[in-house]
């Protein structure tokens, strides 16, 4: 079984370094063959570029875009080159696997055993983006529990899908432009396929609060505007 992990990178080196270091540690200890594909939509500075190049290996590949394509487009592009896998994990480059349980193994186990679900998201510690009052139902299976309900209440910071589902929905919709809608449109696509979207409450990743108020305010203002440029192109 092979797991391909895709992460989009856009400036914010401190967040990226902590996130990718944790993901690589879990890859090294996972029960599955794992490959990591890093799509760079913009470097913060040369130090960031050099560090990302330094971590590349036979199973860690770096893609550099000449312009900010956004999360959806760059992950779809990388998957187009690297689709020989059984599972796809999409993880934002600020999510940190800071617990000892292997999040990759646990996500694969969950997507295999919770058979009504087309996509599963991890629990987000700290800066939680799940909308729990719309996720009132739950299922337990073995060591894990999944909460679900309104499909559009599931956040997409770190999600897993089987390859067959990803291929059927043709990856991320790019309707949202560079910024906005990609995670929500994924949940909608799964729902329209007659499958559920849920949150694995027992698989926990750390999602830090944003320390840059201007960046946070820009995101909140523009999340539904299908932006063609990102924050660092406009500021």
- The CATH number of the domain holding residue 98 is 3.90.550.10
Q: Is residue 232 situated within a structural domain?
A: no
Specify the 3-state DSSP secondary structure of 196: strand
Q: pLDDT tens digits, residue range 130-189? A: 999 999 999 999 999 999 999 999 999 999 999 999 999 999 999 989 998 999 999 999
Q: Residue 134's pLDDT is what? A: 98
Mean pLDDT of 224-228: 89
Residue 141 lies in a domain: yes
pLDDT of the residue at 180: 86
Spatial distance between the Cα atoms of 74 and 42, rounded to a whole number of angstroms: 12
Mean pLDDT of 89-118: 98
Q: What is the pLDDT of residue 62?
A: 98
- Give the CA distances from residue 114 to residues 131, 140, 230, in Å, rounded to whole numbers and listed in that order: 20, 9, 36
| Helix (H) or strand (E) segment spanning residue 48 | helix 46-54
Q: Which range of residues forms the domain containing residue 84?
A: 2-227
* Residue 119 covered by a domain: yes
Could you tell me if 137 and 149 are in contact, meaning their C-beta atoms sit under 8 angstroms apart? yes
With respect to residue 187, please indicate whether it lies within any of the assigned structural domains: yes
Q: What is the mean pLDDT of residues 53-65?
A: 98
Where do we find the tokens 């995101």? 219
In-domain check, residue 145: yes
Strands 33-42 and 87-91: unpaired
Residue-wise pLDDT for 109-141, tens only, equals 999 999 999 999 999 999 999 999 999 999 999
Residue 233 lies in a domain: no
Give domain status of residue 142, yes or no: yes
Confirm whether 234 is domain-assigned.
no
Q: How many CB atoms lie within 10 A of CB 60?
A: 18
pLDDT, average across residues 46-59:
98
Domain tally, the chain: 1
pLDDT in tens, 39-51: 999 999 999 999 9
Q: Residue 8 — very low, low, confident or very high, per pLDDT cuts 50/70/90?
A: very high
What token pair was written down for 91?
A: 């993880």
């Amino acid at each position: 079984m092979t797991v391909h992990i895709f992460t989009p990178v856009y400036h914010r080196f401190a967040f990226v370094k902590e996130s990718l270091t944790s993901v690589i540690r879990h890859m090294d200890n996972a029960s599955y063959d794992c490959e990591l594909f890093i799509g760079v939509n913009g470097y913060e500075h040369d130090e960031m570029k050099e560090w990302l190049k330094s971590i590349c290996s036979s199973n860690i590949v770096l893609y550099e875009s000449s312009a900010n394509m956004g999360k959806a487009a760059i992950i779809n592009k990388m998957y187009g080159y690297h689709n020989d896998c059984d599972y796809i994990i999409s993880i934002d480059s600020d999510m940190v696997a800071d617990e000892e349980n292997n999040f990759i193994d646990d996500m694969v186990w969950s997507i295999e055993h919770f058979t009504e679900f087309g996509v599963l998201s991890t629990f987000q510690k700290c800066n939680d983006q799940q909308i729990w009052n719309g996720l009132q139902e739950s299922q337990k299976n073995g060591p894990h529990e999944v909460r679900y309900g309104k499909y559009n209440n599931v956040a997409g910071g770190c999600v897993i899908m089987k390859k067959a589902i990803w291929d059927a929905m043709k990856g991320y919709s790019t309707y949202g432009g560079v910024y906005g809608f990609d995670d929500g449109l994924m949940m909608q696509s799964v729902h329209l396929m007659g499958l559920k979207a849920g949150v694995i409450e027992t698989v926990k990743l750390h999602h830090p609060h944003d320390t840059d108020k201007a960046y946070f305010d820009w995101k909140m203002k523009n999340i539904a505007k299908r932006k063609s440029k990102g924050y660092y192109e406009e500021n």
